[in-house]
Amino acid sequence: MLHQSALSTSIGLRFLTAKSKNGFISFISMSAMLGIAVGITVLLIIMSAMNGFERELKNRLLAVVPHGEINSVNQPISDWQSIVASAKLIDGVISGAPVISVSGLVMQGNDMSGLQIDGILPEVEQHVLASKEYISEEAWQSLSDKRGSIVLGQGIINKLALNIGEQVHLMIPKPSKDGRFKAPIAVSFTLVGSFKFGGQLDFSQAYIHMDDARELAEIKHGVSGVRFKFNDAYNAPTIIRNLAGAIDQYVYLSDWTRKYGHLYNDINLVKMITYLVLVLVIGVASFNIVSTLVMAVQDKESEIAILLTMGLSKGRVTKIFMVQGMLNASLGCLLGAVVGGLVASNLSLIVGGIEGLLSVQVLSADIYFIDFLPTQFMWQDLMLLVCSTLVISFLATLYPALKAGTIKPALVLGQ
């Protein structure tokens, strides 16, 4: 003979799977299960997409933009080596590299586009930014050895139909002493390579050797700025402020959050909203569970009365309907976890296929910092969703289950 606890579970499972006299109860029960499944699926996809954006922000964008930067105000920074050496003594600073930045226009026929042209020392730059990983070895070597070489983003190359090896014509504005701009100068560089970071930088970034940038910026000695790499990019504002004490020159302090911080804030905002939506979606699905169990109790009044008459305790009767509600929620969690996990893990491929099929682009590289929809499925997110759903569902089963235990057998069977 089954133990009473196992008996309650067995009866709850039978009540769930048995065909009800009222088909509407089965419909509501199925709706509750599907509601939970859809909620978990959608929320898991959203959370995986946000994880993907955060991963790409850290591993892609923050690998090719400086975590922190100082720029000269009045006079060029003359001794960048000593500044880097002093900065490395500060907790959180890994390395630093000099830069001379120039703004300009790249022209091809009647087309032109704005550029941020960074003059770098390639052998030092690679210790701060991961740009070398996106540029061919030959192009990086040409940038190191040959003056007059330039590396452009693949986006601007495609936009202007440029080819490797041809001359790239730039217009560089020249400020005068009174703050106004003089007539720009025209210069030409040989396009030796390209990079594809996968976002806005592909359309607005260029690299040349520092000696070439020195001539364009008319800086005889020193550099216009020093860029730094930190061990914790998300703590960049604090580290860059600590760095100010190691510099005895009047400079501008900046970090990546000034320009790209809104991306990180947007990701965190969407995550917070997702958690709020999680509670609301599961709460709505739980109302269906309440409705299902209330109707199931009414439908099974005679069976409950017989069980009570046969000696089943009120607590065990209550457990029957708690089991029924939790099984319904568990099936919804299982279905949602399977479908959501499969879609979330392959979201990039699915969206890429839809883009190719419909000839549309979800994320445009000239607007966003990446040109594809990233995803990163995490088991922690799935466990959070499932556990939250089961807890809320358990609370939802309490009232109708306790109501079942208060049925009076004499009244029900006497009708």
| DSSP per position, 270-295 | HHHHHHHHHHHHHHHHHHHHHHHHHH
Parallel, antiparallel, or unpaired: how do β-strands 181-195 and 149-153 relate?
A: parallel
pLDDT digits (tens, 9 = 90+) for 139-156: 888 888 778 899 998 889
For residue 2, the model assigns a pLDDT of: 46
CB 320 within 8 A of CB 397: no
Please identify which residue in the block is written with the tokens 């069980």. 307
For residue 120, the model assigns a pLDDT of: 92
Instruction: State CA 68 to chain mean position distance.
Output: 22
CB 213 within 8 A of CB 118: yes
Token digits of residue 75: 């006079």
> Which residues does the chain have with pLDDT short of 70?
1-5, 7-9, 11-25, 175-182, 299-301, 304, 311-312, 364-369, 408-415
Please identify which residue in the block is written with the tokens 């320009």. 259
For residue 415, the model assigns a pLDDT of: 55
Please identify which residue in the block is written with the tokens 């289950």. 401
CB 96 within 8 A of CB 226: yes
Amino acid at 7: L
For residue 1, the model assigns a pLDDT of: 42
For residue 244, the model assigns a pLDDT of: 80
For residue 108, the model assigns a pLDDT of: 83
For residue 192, the model assigns a pLDDT of: 92
For residue 279, the model assigns a pLDDT of: 77
For residue 369, the model assigns a pLDDT of: 67
pTM of the shown model: 0.73
Separation of alpha carbons 178 and 160, rounded Å? 34
376-403 as b/e, with b when 16 or more CB fall inside 10 Å? Answer: bbeeebbebbbebbbebbbebbeebbbe
CB 227 within 8 A of CB 99: yes
Of residues 331, 324, 65, 2, the one with CA closest to residue 199? 65
CB 268 within 8 A of CB 53: no
For residue 178, the model assigns a pLDDT of: 61
CA angle 2, 307, 305 (to 5 degrees): 170
